[in-house]
Structure 1
Amino acid sequence: MHTLLWILFSCFIGGLLSVTAAALVTMNTRTHLVSHLVSYAVGAMLGAVFLEILPHAFKLTNNIEATTFVVLFGILLFFVLEKLLLWRHCHGDHCEVHDMHQESHTSKDHQHTHDAGRSGSMIMVGDLFHNFVDGILIGSAFMVSTSLGIVTALAIIAHEIPQEVGNFLILLNSGYKKKEAFIFNLLASFSTVLGGLLAYFILESMMDWVPFILALAASSMIYVSIADLIPGLHKKTELLSTVFQVTLIVLGVASVALTQLIVEG
């Protein structure tokens, strides 16, 4: 099979498999459990950032200071983007987002709160960057050899599943329906194909940008975890809830570490 066809096939199937596998886990999750499982999403995202994405970026970069600057810049960028999303919903003294928060606290019918889609929107931006880089990595591997490309594609699929589970949970927590969450994650996964194509046609010039794109993807996950999700976890102060949250965060981190250990040995 031609190298380009291998790249396209691996990127497309890889994205489809990872999103579908994650969907099988989250689609059957009861709505009232989603707010609790956000703790797992926090752990999975932070695990992916500090155990996989940033170490990978530091290995590839020739300038660690510039790479860490991109992480800082990205966090500030996503802060501004979230402000723009807030301003879009807020007009004068009347704010649809704040009203929605207030209603979710007072209504007995609501089993969990959500953030009017803000954290879901942010994580989708980061996921686009991350999948794009995955495509570049798959394409680069196939340019070396078919066997290396296949192994790399399988490794990326395995690494993606815990992260995609976290993405689904965040989208559900942000108020998206399960079908919408699946479609958005599937569309975001197709940026892998674009990354693979760019790697094939302009590999050398794109490789210089990989550490910075990884850093930007990491910054989005850090921001969503710290700014949007963790504050919501602090609303439950009971000892049992706290232990449950910490346990799920640790499990989220462990799932990424375990997947990394299995794939990379």
Structure 2
Amino acid sequence: MIAGVASITGAAVFSFTLLSKVVERMVSLSVGIMLATSLLHALPEAFESGADTRSLFATLLGGLLAFFVLEKLAILRHSHHHEGDGHHHAHGHDAHQAGKSGWMILLGDAMHNFTDGILIAAAFLANPELGIVTALAIVAHEIPQEIGDFIVLLNAGFSRLRAYVFNLLCSLMAVAGGLLGYFTLDKASGLIPYVLVFASSGFIYIAVSDLMPQMQRRATVKESVPQVFLILLGVGIVLALNHAY
């Protein structure tokens, strides 16, 4: 719980102060963080666990399709809600397009926090000191990812309070994972690679399907150069933290 609250609060301080005025530009940073966290941290950890490779790829495929279906349901629900009301919804539709990525990122984040809880429980069972170090390492890894999440939520139209509360609720999944890991670690540990892959599929889908198309609508050189720079900066942050821990 401490690890979750610390990472959420630390990310909120950066997101709501230093970055709040440049949310649209910071979407690029979020893309870099999300893709790097998934492709350079979570997925390698899952595939190095010894779990069946074909099953992990099947989970990745299933996760991508599941998030596609969730997005499709959100679009259909929105279309049905406004059907025949006689109003033009171009601007509102754009806001909704961003909004659905906010709910999907919360789902992926909840799954990721669940695996963090299992990992912390496993470390504490092995050695209390190792548990503390593991929790601190997870806080360090989570802060840049949570900054990326907050940027997506603000871009999706969430208020600061709403974004903080929902992220905080998602962090409680780490407590659920910790309790499950503590009492049933032998069985639960085998699920960690699959939960990591499913969570990663959500981050990849959101980055590629929702955030990158937003960035592509601003295709001038003046906009594109900072976008590329911030994506690379996000990747660099994750790489630096992976190297440090």
Identify whether the pair has TM-score above 0.5, normalized to the shorter chain.
yes
Query: RMSD in angstroms over aligned alpha carbons?
Result: 2.0
Stretches of structure 2 that go unaligned for 5 or more consecutive residues are none
Match of 1:160 among 123, 138, 142: 142
Match of 1:248 among 215, 227, 230: 230
Name the structure where helix makes up a greater proportion of residues: 2
Q: TM-score, normalised by structure 2?
A: 0.94
Mapped to 1, the partners of 2:242 and 2:208 lie a distance apart of 23
Residues 251 and 133 (structure 1 numbering): CA distance in 2 closer, same or farther, change over 3 Å? same
Mapped to 2, the partners of 1:209 and 1:89 lie a distance apart of 35
Mapped to 2, the partners of 1:79 and 1:201 lie a distance apart of 34
Answer yes or no: is the 8 Å Cα contact 2:19–2:26 preserved in 1. Answer: no
Residue identity in the other structure for 1:75? L
Deviation at 1:94, TM superposition (A): 2.8
Match of 2:66 among 53, 60, 77: 77
Counterpart in the other structure of 2:153: 171
Answer yes or no: is the 8 Å Cα contact 1:78–1:220 preserved in 2. Answer: yes
Moved more, 142-151 or 21-30: 21-30
Residue identity in the other structure for 1:35? E
Deviation at 1:91, TM superposition (A): 1.7
Answer yes or no: is the 8 Å Cα contact 1:120–1:174 preserved in 2. Answer: yes
Residues 83 and 70 (structure 1 numbering): CA distance in 2 closer, same or farther, change over 3 Å? same
Mapped to 1, the partners of 2:6 and 2:190 lie a distance apart of 29
Residue identity in the other structure for 1:103? H
Q: TM-score, normalised by structure 1?
A: 0.87
Q: Percent identity?
A: 43
1:103 aligns with 2:85: no
Mapped to 2, the partners of 1:220 and 1:92 lie a distance apart of 26
1:65 aligns with 2:47: no
Aligned residues: 244
SS at match of 1:203: helix
C-alpha offsets along residues 167-213 of structure 1, whole Å, 9 cap, x if unaligned? 00000111111111111111101100000000000000001111100
Residues 64 and 159 (structure 1 numbering): CA distance in 2 closer, same or farther, change over 3 Å? same
Alignment of 1:8-157 (within 5 A): 12-29=1-18, 33-91=22-80, 94=83, 100=89, 102-103=90-91, 115=97, 117-157=99-139
1:186 aligns with 2:168: yes
SS at match of 2:151: helix
